[in-house]
């Protein structure tokens, strides 16, 4: 499978982190760890921003992560017009790793609280594309 399966509208047919979509198809949200210096990255990176090495191990992010901040969008760019409103969030997985992603629509606006526990989950969209979102633990 290629990276064209990732996201609601995939504009990138090729990437060094093509495996990310394969893992999503298996129900796993994965990040990378540089074999050279140990720096962990999400979104996944093959080229380390710390030591510039290009060898990584993949690891699954299971959570819990704590919500740091979020915003709710009432305007959707091309391809996302029918999704509004939706919330985007940043959550802290541990001391080093942060996760950026959409909050599950199952979380009602009044339930969203800074510090709440979340976990990333793989989702298959209505059009068959793959993505991930953050759900309550």
Residue 111 has pLDDT above 80, yes or no: yes
Confidence of residue 81 (pLDDT cuts 50, 70, 90): confident
If you average pLDDT over every residue of the chain, what do you get? Answer: 89
Tokens of 47: 């080229």
The answer, yes or no, to whether the previous bond of 84 is cis (omega within 30 of 0) is: no
Q: Give the integer Cα–Cα distance in Å for 73 and 83.
A: 9
Q: What value, to the nearest 5°, has the Cα angle with vertex 40 and ends 94 and 45?
A: 135
pLDDT at 117 over 90: yes
The token pair that represents 46 in the structure block: 């093959």
Q: What angle do CA 128, 133, 137 make, to 5 degrees?
A: 130
Q: What are the φ/ψ torsions at residue 123 (nearest 5 degrees)?
A: -135, 145
Beta-carbon contacts of residue 77 (< 8 Å; ≥ 6 apart): none
Strand ranges in the chain using DSSP code E only, listed in sequence order:
30-34, 40-41, 56-60, 65-73, 86-92, 98-103, 117-124, 130-136
With 70 as the cut, is the pLDDT of residue 79 above it?
yes
Q: What is the pLDDT of residue 83?
A: 87
pTM, whole model, 2 decimals? 0.84
């Amino acid at each position: 499978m290629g990276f064209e399966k990732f996201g609601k509208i995939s504009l990138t047919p090729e990437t060094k982190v093509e495996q990310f979509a394969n893992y999503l198809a298996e129900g796993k949200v994965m990040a990378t760890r540089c074999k050279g210096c140990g720096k962990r990255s999400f979104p996944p990176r093959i080229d380390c921003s710390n030591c510039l090495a290009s060898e990584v191990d993949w690891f699954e992010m299971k959570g819990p992560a704590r919500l740091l901040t979020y915003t709710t969008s009432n305007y959707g760019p091309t391809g996302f017009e029918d999704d509004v409103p939706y919330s985007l969030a940043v959550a802290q997985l541990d001391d080093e790793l942060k996760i950026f992603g959409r909050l599950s629509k199952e979380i009602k606006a009044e339930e969203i609280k800074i510090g709440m526990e979340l976990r990333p989950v793989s989702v298959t969209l209505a059009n068959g594309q793959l993505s991930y979102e953050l759900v309550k633990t």
